[in-house]
Structure 1
Amino acid sequence: MPKSQVRKKKVYTPPTDIRPAATAASKKPSPVWLPITAVALIVVGIAWLVVYYLSSQEYPVAAWQYWNLAVGFGCMVASLAILSRWR
């Protein structure tokens, strides 16, 4: 019985007008201060909340009352925003 011919697949090359312009080699790496700042903000946010709860809501700033929670969580959310820029 004769053997059937093997078809060769064509190599796909995307059109040049659709190809993405930025390649992985052209992207700049993140600056060194970025992860350091993000980790520092996380630590400050957690420390702020821990001090607030352990001091029976008297410290860090007693006049702010529950806004101390916003400061602590705000620091942690700001660190997430900074980390979204990390490459």
Structure 2
Amino acid sequence: MPKSQVRKKKVYTPPTDIRPAATAASKKPSPMWLPITAVALIVIGIAWLVVYYLSSQQYPVEAWRYWNLAVGFGCMVASLGILSRWR
């Protein structure tokens, strides 16, 4: 049986008037404070939760009760938001 011919597709290149141009501003590296702040927020959030559980819900702030969980997880979610800006 004869082998069928393989078709090769052309590589698509968009027209130059549609293609987005990379600007110099988008290639700037992130400031040094960004990863430091994100890691600090992660550590603070984990430490807050560990202290909350190990102290039988008395510390860091006893009056907040279960809102202490929101503070700990909120710090970690905020760090994810900051890390999404990291280049």
- Determine if the TM-score, normalized by the shorter chain, exceeds 0.5: yes
Gaps of 5+ in 1: none
User: By how many angstroms is 1:14 displaced?
Assistant: 3.3
Task: Sort the Cα spacing of 1:67 and 1:8 in 2 relative to 1 into closer, same or farther, 3 A.
Answer: closer
Structure 2 stretches lacking a partner, 5+ long: none
Whole-angstrom CA distance in 1 between matches of 2:23 and 2:32: 22
TM-score (norm 2): 0.81
Q: CA deviation at 1:15?
A: 1.4
Sequence identity (%): 93
Distance (whole Å) between structure 2 residues aligned to residue 3 and residue 36 of structure 1: 60
Runs (4 or more) in structure 1 with deviation over 2 Å come to 1-14, 23-26
Q: How many residues align?
A: 87
TM-score, with normalisation over the residues of structure 1? 0.81
Q: Distance in 2 between matches of 1:73 and 1:39?
A: 14
Question: Once the two structures are superposed, what CA deviation does each residue of 1:41-70 show, in whole Å capped at 9, x if it has no partner?
Answer: 000000000000000000000000000000
Aligned alpha-carbon RMSD (Å)? 3.9
Larger Rg over CA atoms: 1
- 1:15 to 1:63, Cα distance in 2 relative to 1, 3 A: same
Distance 1:24 1:8, change over 3 A: farther
